[in-house]
A and B are shown apart, each in its own frame.
Chain A
Amino acid sequence: MAEMQNENPTILNAADLPTRLRPTATPKGEYAGIFTSVPLPADFLESAPTSDSEDDNLLEEPIDEQEIYDLISSISDPEHPISLGELAVVSLPDISIKPTLPDVPGSPLQTVTVLITPTITHCSLATVIGLGVRVRLEQSLPSRFRMNVRIKEGTHSTGDEVNKQLADKERVAAALENGALMGVIAKMMETCH
């Protein structure tokens, strides 16, 4: 890359980032956190009386804000080998999940809103970062989710323009067919699990 737009960004300590994968309460080692999510046999015994129909409803695990955060915080900044989480470009309080059609009872559609805070107000890479976040979510989440990826208000000089591009389905679809752009995005996602 010719010239960096932000050569010295503020970086958060990875240990301070919100996570469920490595809870601070279990200092047993790096992998301990993974096993905490595995239910114990006792859990099955206790929940045995629950009906089968309830299990059917739970075929798809509910997705919460932390899970969205885990999906996108590990994306790398296109300029730095640092994650969007560490750069505080994405943060847990700026992620929300709401029913898309609140007036339609039982509608499975949900809207994921992610507000992005660019590291500097004139960063021309904001669109690429936003696109990366949107693509990551589209590829990872079930189709019943509608993505609403926006620049956080007041954090970017051309936020409205970027937002309009990111919300334009046709432009995003065309970008996905653009080899050069997808190369950049694929590189950003190399650090995703």
Chain B
Amino acid sequence: MAQINHLSDLTPQSLERTWLTAPHPTLPIVATCSSDKTVRVYSLTNFTLLSTITGGHKRSVRTAAWKPHTTGESVLATGSFDATVGIWRRWDSYGREDGSGLKAADTGNSDGEKSDENDEEDEEEWRFAVLLDGHDSEVKSVSWSPSGMLLATCSRDKSIWIWEDLDDGDNNFETVAVMQEHGGDVKCVAWHPVEECLASGSYDDTIRLWREDLDDWGQVACIKGHSGTVWFLDWEGSENVPSSSSVSSSGDVASQWRSQTALSGPRLLSCSDDRSVRVWHRQPKESLMASQSSSAATGIPSIIRPTGTDETWEEDAVLPHAHELAVYAVAWSKRSGLVASTGADGRIALYEERFVTSENKDPDVMDTGSGDGLLKTEWVLIAIHDGAHGIYEINHCAWAKRADRGSESGEELLITTADDGSVKVWTVQR
């Protein structure tokens, strides 16, 4: 079992509902989206407010995502109920300098009246770059592709848009694709950690996967497994290996797991209004790769979508039941492999995936696949924290690297975001 310990709140908090908190990919800062139409940027070194992004959106800010691989500058995409997506930029000087009291930036700053100038700069520290206009109604989720080249956005208008950041210095974005296959609001979009493959979850209860094939973006899979709105998705880290503490010969388990899962790749995690949390994997198909290479050789015209692009996604696991109301968010840690979920019942649940050895397997369960020598895993509920934000619903959870004073390297945090505007930071004690 594990314990979820409260470390700090992010203060001062929004007085209205907060929807989501996005940790920066490299800096110790997070962006929190609020119904008060603003985004608050907090430091993870001292848990206080660094700046507030205002004036860009006319309604609730629902979602935000940091562009990966930027150098010297942070780029944030925000999605709002006002149907627009905002792109914001700021030079990276803070997060470190304002952080934990380590004024490292002082040495490089020889200005005499530094504080006055900083005050003026603070007014304009977040530069509004561009507004992406295209959706007909509320934008629900935004996600940058692993390279940072593509931005996916989705909306109640049932569509997913993919924009290419031209990075031409003029903030130009080009619409690459508009996908309209979903039969209801698209609640979330999430890019595969390494490939240009997009996953989406919807009010139509399905999860769909999208890839580009010969210049055309199209659906490659539709997963019908949940019996309610799919609220959120997250991908497994590409290097993830389940916990092997219970397995005696842990030495080569990791490498065996890697080779066993190499063909299917990272799995997808989903949560739903049906109160369940599920894991999905792509059916490994050696024949798929063969058919793709043969179709390329025969030169089939681009209008005919080669059947080889279709993928079969199967249910990998249903996580142990932990929620009594809608599950609004899941997060799969890229550091520890732990999964966290939160929802309307105000609860945080933590799960761990473990290898199952033949000895500790339930003898009553029919072991149908024992002969294939494949590694098997089970998901264990390792902690539940009730009333994590008091009586309030928890809209989002995210893992981040711990950065406050006294923390050891490699430690991680869980950040939860709730209806009363509070954002709480937790550590997990094993």
A interface, CB within 8 angstroms of B: 100-101, 103-104, 107-109, 142-144, 146, 164, 167-171, 173-174, 177
Contacts and interface: CB of A to CB of B under 8 A. Distances in A.
B387 A143 contact: no
A164 B62 CA distance: 20
Contacts of B273: 167-168
Contacts of A174: 59-60, 81, 137-138, 156
A104 B59 contact: no
B345 A177 contact: no
B392 interface: yes
A177 B83 CA distance: 12
Contacts of B344: 146, 169
B391 interface: yes
A89 to B, nearest CB: 26
A109 B138 CA distance: 30
Contacts of B60: 173-174, 177
A19 to B, nearest CB: 29
A82 B229 CA distance: 35
B346 interface: yes
B234 interface: no
Interface string B252-285: 0000000000000000000001000000000000
A100 B81 contact: no
A143 B326 contact: no
Nearest to B62: A170
B393 interface: yes
B81 A101 contact: no
Contacts of A143: 391-392, 419-420
Interface of B: 17, 35, 59-60, 62, 81, 137-138, 140, 156, 185, 187, 203, 229, 273, 324-326, 328, 344-346, 386-387, 391-393, 419-420
Given A100-B324, A101-B345, A171 B185 contact: yes
A169 B59 contact: no
Nearest to B231: A170
Contacts of A164: 203, 229
Contacts of B62: 170
Nearest to A145: B391
A170 B392 contact: no
B386 A173 contact: no
B229 A101 contact: no
Given A143-B419, A146-B344, A177 B393 contact: no
Given A100-B324, A101-B324, 17 more contacts: A100-B345, A101-B345, A103-B324, A109-B345, A109-B346, A143-B419, A144-B391, A146-B344, A168-B203, A169-B393, A170-B138, A170-B185, A170-B187, A171-B185, A174-B59, A174-B138, A177-B60
9 interchain residue pairs of minimum CB distance: A144-B391, A177-B59, A174-B138, A174-B81, A143-B391, A104-B386, A101-B324, A108-B391, A177-B81
A144 B346 CA distance: 10
Given A173-B35, A174-B156, A177-B60, A168 B391 contact: no
A170 B324 contact: no
Contacts of B138: 170, 174
Nearest to B137: A174
A34 to B, nearest CB: 31
Contacts of B156: 171, 174
B17 A109 contact: no
A88 B386 CA distance: 38
Contacts of B35: 173
B386 A107 contact: yes
Contacts of B59: 174, 177
24 contacts: A100-B324, A100-B345, A101-B324, A101-B345, A107-B386, A107-B387, A108-B391, A109-B391, A143-B392, A143-B419, A146-B344, A164-B203, A164-B229, A167-B326, A168-B203, A168-B229, A170-B62, A170-B140, A170-B185, A173-B35, A173-B60, A174-B59, A174-B138, A174-B156
A11 B143 CA distance: 52
Nearest to A101: B324
A137 B60 CA distance: 22
B300 to A, nearest CB: 41
A108 B393 CA distance: 13
A144 B345 CA distance: 10
Nearest to A104: B386
A25 to B, nearest CB: 37
Nearest to A165: B203
A110 to B, nearest CB: 10
A173 B33 CA distance: 14
Nearest to B384: A104
A109 B390 CA distance: 10
Contacts of B346: 109
A161 B205 CA distance: 13
Given A174-B81, A177-B59, A100 B325 contact: yes
Given A101-B386, A107-B386, A109-B391, A173 B203 contact: no
Contacts of B386: 101, 104, 107
Given A107-B386, A171-B185, A177-B59, A146 B325 contact: yes
A170 B60 CA distance: 11
A100 B386 CA distance: 12
